[in-house]
Amino acid sequence: MKTVEPSSGNVYEDLGRPDAEEMMMKAQLAVKIGEIITERQWSQQHAATILGLTQPKLSQMLRGQFRGISETKMLDGLARLGLDVQIIIGPARPTPNAHHKRVGIVFTA
């Protein structure tokens, strides 16, 4: 009989990765970049030029292989795509797992 465990909402955390939060953020940023490229019907070569990446690096990122691409580079890419990127820092809110860092991404319309 198989045991099913509920997800934490972060697959990287569920896999026990020490950099789970960073990887989840990068995944969310990569998905958004991919959505914009698809929506605009750009080729990867054109998008890579706009983003300041090589086409192979962009291809890797869009396939979830974003090691070697910093969050800063991804945020810069979103700004190059015409999005307003803001970083908001505020007081921590109590959570059941208070020992965990709380970093999140919110995309607005």
Task: Delimit the domains of the chain by residue range.
Answer: 17-109
Q: From start to end of the chain, where are the E strands?
A: none
Q: How far, rounded to the nearest angstrom, does the alpha carbon of residue 65 sit from its chain's CA centroid?
A: 11
101 sits in the region (left: phi over 0; alpha: psi -120 to 50; else beta) called: beta
For residue range 55-104, list pLDDT tens digits in order: 999 999 999 998 889 999 999 999 999 999 988 887 776 666 555 556 67
d(CA 96, CA 100): 9
Q: What pLDDT was estimated at residue 71?
A: 92
Query: What is d(CA 83, CA 4) in angstroms, rounded to the nearest whole number?
Result: 39
Indicate the fold that domain 17-109 takes in CATH.
Answer: 434 Repressor (Amino-terminal Domain) (1.10.260)
**What does the pLDDT look like over 22-66, one tens digit per residue?**
888 999 999 999 999 999 999 999 999 999 999 999 999 999 998
The dihedral built from the CA positions of residue 10, 15, 20 and 26, taken in this order, carries a sign that is negative
What pLDDT does residue 96 have? 60
Q: What is the pTM of this model?
A: 0.80
Sorting pLDDT into bands at 50, 70 and 90, what band is 16? Answer: confident
